[in-house]
Amino acid sequence: MTLAEPALIEARGLSTAVRTAAGETPIVLSLDLSIGRGETVAIVGESGCGKSLAALSMIRLLPKGQARVTGGEVRLDGRDILRLREREMNALRGRDIALISQDPMSALNPLMTIGAQLYEAISAHAALPREALRERALELMRLVRIPDPETRLGEYPHRLSGGMCQRIVIAMAIAGHPRLLIADEPTTALDVTIQAQVLQLLQRLKEETGMALLIVTHDFGVVAEMADRVAVMYAGRIIEEGPVREIFRAPRHPYTQGLLALTRRAPAGERLPEIPGVVPSYADRPPGCAFAGRCDRALDICRTTAPARRIVGRRHEVECWFDGEASA
Amino acid sequence: MAGKRTLPTPFSDPLRFEGATRTSTASRGLNVARRVGLRLLTHVLPLMLVIITSTFFLIHSAPGSFVEIMSSEMQISDQAMIDRLTVTYGLDQPLWIQWLRYLQAIAQFDLGFSYRQNMPVLEAILHHLPATLILMVTGLLVALISGVAAGVLAASRPNSTLDRVLSLAGVFLFAAPGFWLGIMLIVLFGVVLGWLPIGDMRTIGGDFGFVGGVLDVAKHLILPAVAMGLHQSAIYLRVTRAAMIEAAAADYVKTARAKGLSEQAVALRHVFRNALLPIVTVLGLQFATVFSGSVVVEAVFNWPGIGSLLYDAVVARDYPMVLGVIILSALVVILVNLVIDALYAWLDPRIALD
């Protein structure tokens, strides 16, 4: 993919805040992210860094009354979907942008059969006669490798395993031929053996349908396996972004370097390595770089002035004052 | 891509029309029916035995027999006659013999004879039962419809002014005793405005034919049913509001919205349907309360139901009548809860009725 080709979806200055007892706390701070057609982008970061809220903002499914977008724009085909009315947004959800959420067991309505929920997803965007609806549902279930789909149609979610539920959720998500599938921690709630299967499934579906994928994860293993490009998030901002190979080969931000170092060495019997310190809350954030307090290479300027985004390689950008290639 | 936009209902599963599943839904229904039958034997019968026995001994442990009350009311001083009455009604026998005889009679659907009403107890109860059931069911419907509607409305905008006003009204109605609400309604609509009758079930001496008669009863029914229903509706408001808010935050609602469903479809098929479960639970629990609550409302509105019968029987130590009313009420409440359990199992596929 070349830089000249327009992105499928592009967030500019996207900010979201969470409502608390004391008012609103900003969580996502002016985030820029673009995803090309058929591209797989991963947002990676610790829990609480705002990666899920950023992704949910792009399909406008933030928890009602608890979080809201406070600024910026998200352009799909050039129009800002944050300004669409709810009706127009509904026409777009499932058809242009679809979502898979974290816990497959609670992502399905316990009172409706698998079939009913699949039919709902299919008929939300296409008026089909009953027989065609059933055919399409069976086709989708075969696509996500559900064994014995005819029987499953009439069953309720509690009779299915977590992995099976996630396959159903994926089948529902691709029912409307979306151009972008947002997967919010798609494997976190699953057994390790099932995780690999679900990732393989997503990869295959992506190749077959040509849709773009936005994967939200805290797992660099998932990133390495799936993503073309990765955005590392820390305390509400993307602090480094670039092609996966590039990031793995030469991470520039000390935080990225720290995260990667953790995933690489796992010596048996030793205490698990960690990055010292904690993520600062919004109120405690220093005026400069949010990571300065935990960074072993922090300079004076890091604490006073926020670093600007710099281009350090082909599509590789970083927000850090430090300017030496992993030399320290 | 406007597609078809049929109006969604909570139960408009596309699947319910569909071949493969029709059988499974039907077999689930059959299963429920068989289990209800089994439950009748294993749960309802023993429970009724316990209720009959405990009520029987409790009532006989109260001082004063009905022969004493009757003889004093009717100024009978002839000891020979009192003795004869005692023997006639079997009161000379030991209590456990009386108990066995009572059980034996009940097994033959004989609840005894009421000297007060001068007719068999069962006949007197069946004569008054329809009035009470009409009042109860109407009152419950008023409570359920107004409470659930207000709860859904309140939950649609949590912490808004509308929500606060509705919740406050709910607390007020629940704190106000049912009889007081009744009296206030009588004063407003019966006396000041004169729109509705202030009591009784029918216009005395009125003859309006069948349709006119039904309308006449309906007119008399409005105030007591509203008095009873409004008091109860506060509970449904609270439960519905909480259940709707909880269900709306569930992951499957996010999934449903991600499909691109309309707000309506999400609210009805996903949120409301899941919120129904706690509402049904409360409905079952409330039924007994409504039954006893109707006694008071019946008294306020001079409604010719079981309530007046029971009150009269207690004052007169009309034991067979008191026992009969209690047993039949218990039976009604138990059966209703059985239906609620079945309803619950039907609504929620995760619950097996066993």
Tell me which chain A residues have a C-beta less than 8 angstroms from the C-beta of B347. 111
Tell me which chain A residues have a C-beta less than 8 angstroms from the C-beta of B269. 109, 112, 120
User: pLDDT band at residue A261, thresholds of 50, 70 and 90?
Assistant: confident
**Contact (Cβ atoms closer than 8 angstroms) between residue B135 and residue B225:** yes
**DSSP string of A249-313?**
HS--SHHHHHHHHHHH---TTSPPP--SS-PPPTTT--SS-TTGGG-TT--HHHHHSPPPEEEEE
Q: Closest to A107 (Cβ–Cβ): which among B17, B252, B260?
A: B252
Q: How many A-B residue pairs are in contact by the CB < 8 A criterion? A: 126
Provide the 10 A C-beta neighbour count for residue A282: 15
The verdict on a CB contact (< 8 Å) between A111 and B18 is: no
Phi-psi region of A103 (alpha: psi -120 to 50; beta: other; left: phi over 0): beta
Q: Which residue of A has its CA nearest to B21?
A: A154
* pLDDT per residue as tens digits for the range A266-276: 666 666 667 77
Interface predicted TM-score (ipTM) of this complex, two decimals: 0.88
| Short-list B218, B130, B135, B241, CA closest to B178 | B135
| Short-list A152, A148, A123, CA closest to A136 | A123
* pLDDT per residue as tens digits for the range A40-59: 999 998 888 889 999 999 99
- Amino acid symbol at A179: R
Query: A238 — phi, psi (to 5°)?
Result: -85, 115
The residue among B259, B266, B348 with the most chain A CBs within 10 A of its CB, best to mutate, is B259
Q: Does B258 touch chain A (CB under 8 A)?
A: yes
| Short-list A85, A30, A74, CA closest to A182 | A74
0.90 exceeded by the pTM?
A: no
Can you give the C-alpha Rg of chain B in angstroms? 25
Tell me which chain B residues have a C-beta less than 8 angstroms from the C-beta of A61. 254, 257-258
User: Which has the higher per-residue pLDDT, A326 or B296?
Assistant: B296
What's the confidence (pLDDT) of residue A152?
92
User: pLDDT band at residue A141, thresholds of 50, 70 and 90?
Assistant: very high
* pLDDT per residue as tens digits for the range B343-353: 888 888 887 65
In the block, residue with structure tokens 């059969």: A113
Q: Which residue of A has its CA nearest to B347?
A: A111
Q: Closest to B24 (Cβ–Cβ): which among A120, A154, A176?
A: A154
- Split chain B (354 residues) into runs of 10 and give each run's mean pLDDT: 44 41 52 73 86 88 74 77 79 84 86 83 88 89 93 87 90 83 81 77 72 78 87 91 91 92 89 91 83 80 85 82 87 85 83 61
The residue among B18, B157, B269, B271 with the most chain A CBs within 10 A of its CB, best to mutate, is B18
pLDDT tops 90 at residue A212: yes
What's the confidence (pLDDT) of residue B19?
36
What's the confidence (pLDDT) of residue B13?
45
Q: Does B272 touch chain A (CB under 8 A)?
A: no
Tell me which chain A residues have a C-beta less than 8 angstroms from the C-beta of B13. 112-113, 116
How far are the Cα atoms of A230, A253, A288, A291 from residue A322, in angstroms, in the given order? 20, 8, 13, 12
Q: Closest to A109 (Cβ–Cβ): which among B21, B256, B258?
A: B256
Q: Is B284 exposed, middle or buried (0-12, 13-18, 19+ CB in 10 A)?
A: middle
* Element spanning B150, H or E: helix B121-156
Long-range CB contacts (< 8 A, 24+ apart) of A74-83? A74/A9, A74/A10, A74/A11, A74/A12, A74/A14, A75/A9, A75/A10, A75/A11, A75/A12, A76/A8, A76/A9, A78/A6, A82/A57
Residues 6+ positions from B127 with CB-CB distance below 8 Å = none
User: Which has the higher per-residue pLDDT, B285 or A247?
Assistant: A247
pLDDT tops 90 at residue A213: yes
What's the confidence (pLDDT) of residue B353?
53
Q: Closest to A153 (Cβ–Cβ): which among B4, B21, B255?
A: B21
What's the confidence (pLDDT) of residue B95?
85
User: Rounded to a whole number, what is the distance in Å from the CA of A196 to chain B's nearest CA?
Assistant: 23
Q: Which residue of B has its CA nearest to A91?
A: B260
Q: Closest to B251 (Cβ–Cβ): which among A87, A103, A124?
A: A103
**Contact (Cβ atoms closer than 8 angstroms) between residue A35 and residue A1:** no
User: Which has the higher per-residue pLDDT, A133 or B42?
Assistant: A133
User: Rounded to a whole number, what is the distance in Å from the CA of A90 to chain B's nearest CA?
Assistant: 4
Query: A216 — phi, psi (to 5°)?
Result: -100, 125
In chain A, the percentage of residues whose pLDDT exceeds 90 is: 53
The verdict on a CB contact (< 8 Å) between A86 and B263 is: yes
The residue among B255, B268, B348 with the most chain A CBs within 10 A of its CB, best to mutate, is B255
Residues 6+ positions from B172 with CB-CB distance below 8 Å = none
- Amino acid symbol at A111: L
Q: Which residue of A has its CA nearest to B252?
A: A107
Report the C-alpha gap between A283 and A23 in whole angstroms. 12
Q: Which residue of A has its CA nearest to B275?
A: A111
Q: Which residue of B has its CA nearest to A156?
A: B349
Query: A11 — phi, psi (to 5°)?
Result: -100, 135
pLDDT tops 60 at residue A4: no
The verdict on a CB contact (< 8 Å) between B254 and A93 is: no
* pLDDT per residue as tens digits for the range B84-116: 878 877 777 888 888 888 888 888 888 888 878
Q: Closest to B349 (Cβ–Cβ): which among A86, A156, A169?
A: A156
SS3 B42: helix
**Structure tokens, A4:** 């000249």
The dihedral of CA B183, B189, B194, B197: what is its sign?
Answer: negative
The dihedral of CA A257, A260, A266, A267: what is its sign?
Answer: negative
Tell me which chain A residues have a C-beta less than 8 angstroms from the C-beta of B261. 90, 120, 124
What's the confidence (pLDDT) of residue A328?
39
Tell me which chain A residues have a C-beta less than 8 angstroms from the C-beta of B349. 110-111, 156, 158
How far are the Cα atoms of A235, A238, B263 from residue A284, in angstroms, in the given order? 11, 19, 39
Tell me which chain B residues have a C-beta less than 8 angstroms from the C-beta of A122. none
Residues 6+ positions from A167 with CB-CB distance below 8 Å = A141, A144, A145, A146, A198, A201
* pLDDT per residue as tens digits for the range A70-97: 999 999 988 899 999 999 999 999 999 9
Q: Which residue of A has its CA nearest to B255?
A: A107
